[in-house]
Chains A and B, each alone.
Chain A
């Protein structure tokens, strides 16, 4: 059984079709890369999965479909594309990451709901989960710094630390590589691999960086309002789909930028 399943997902806004009959399924332990140009509907897809937006079709998480999935949503970690915080907001990095402990409490209370469908989630009793998460993302040095003083890359890592504190079973990341310098990108890349491999977290990640996604993901889905491709990355590479998808010139620019 798939841990995440999207069937005939259609989203209309003001008469326009944003997403058209998307079908996707993600198995446990998978690392799915979602590729698509700006405005392709990647964010909308994620927000629908998380029940933050309305849509037609059916979505199931951990075997719970549609409105039944609300109670298992806390087991999904979500990293939105944009997050900003006032420079003056009085909160330290450590306090920010600690807010996820609220999620953790909810999850340990509701873990039986997952167990009923055969998914195992157990709380790990550690005193310093927050410190550990900060060390994992390499932000331990800034834990007493105020959030508003972080750089773009540090903010991104603080968000990831907050997500991993609750040890979600699925992690959905919306263009996490944007606004990161190459060094920070490489670190995030390693981190995602580690989370997927060592902690067995299923990951769905949207990105523009083709090469990076190809290296990182096990399978690829290409979306531009509708689903153009969904399969292993080998199949994806062998098809001429990417060229059609991004157009030849775009591919060229892309290669020279990142090649």
Chain B
């Protein structure tokens, strides 16, 4: 049964998958609570245009992807505070715009090939040793930052004005937060691909929030759910010979639905409508 663990590529996939899942869900909790659930999607799509630029210029695509998504995240933060456009308008424009840019550049550089598919749908089983090390370092940095600053981040998420009054440098923290969000999106692209990135950020947290407990509890519960989903997804994909990314997201969805069913059965009403909004 455990012979699967003897394969090095599975080991690499599991280790990277677990750290990415934890990083995405910890930072993701704040994104969800700030009503930025679709933010991950936007960053992933802008990252896609970055990947296209990388393929076009023949540099490592995830580097250009990181740059474009950092630029986009800073841009969104600035535009949100300085224009009258609402969050969903901005997100719709950026989603479509960056996808269009990606298509144009890719078609110009004959980049619409298999290589692109691995970015679209994830390729965690193909992760190399060096990539795994980078992934671990980046994920652990994000996890460490969020854990160390959880109280401040919570304060800002809940009550930005009051947080500013209490002497927190809210603006600086917001920018750092957005840059970290770009980093986890790039990591998540490796795991589940551009198209499913936001599932990794949103789903475990929706499940965690549904449990209806306090902040500390949720901050631990969500990553646990994410880890279970990633491990189950990778292992089942090996035995069933299907795409890992899809299985990770489906497992995550199943866990969420189970919690929802359990809560409904117990008669505790949950309104997730409030949560999945921008």
A: residues with CB less than 8 A from B are 50, 52, 71, 73-74, 76, 78, 80, 83, 85-92, 94-96, 98-103, 106-107, 110, 144, 146, 166
Contacts and interface: CB of A to CB of B under 8 A. Distances in A.
A86 B216 contact: no
B interface, size bucket: 20 to 34
Contact of B165 (A74, A85, A99): A74
Interface string B165-189: 1111000000000000000000000
What is the predominant secondary structure among interface residues of chain A facing chain B? Answer: mixed
Contact of B274 (A87, A92, A96, A101): A87
17 contacts: A52-B165, A74-B167, A80-B162, A83-B159, A87-B271, A87-B274, A88-B272, A88-B275, A90-B211, A90-B212, A92-B214, A94-B214, A95-B214, A96-B158, A102-B163, A106-B167, A146-B214
Interface in B21-46: 33
B208 interface: yes
A90 B208 contact: yes
B64 interface: no
Interface stretch (B78-86, B147-155, B228-236, B241-249): B147-155
Contacts of B152: 102
Interface of B: 33, 151-152, 154-155, 158-159, 161-168, 208-209, 211-218, 270-272, 274-275
Contacts of A76: 165
A87 B33 CA distance: 12
Nearest 4 pairs of A and B residues by beta carbon: A103-B166, A106-B167, A92-B214, A90-B218
Contacts of A95: 154, 214-216
A88 B166 contact: no
Contact of A106 (B158, B166, B216): B166
B240 to A, nearest CB: 34
Contacts of B218: 90
Contacts of B165: 50, 52, 73-74, 76, 78
A102 B168 contact: yes
Given A88-B271, A89-B158, A166 B166 contact: yes
Contacts of B168: 102, 106
B167 A103 contact: yes
B222 to A, nearest CB: 9
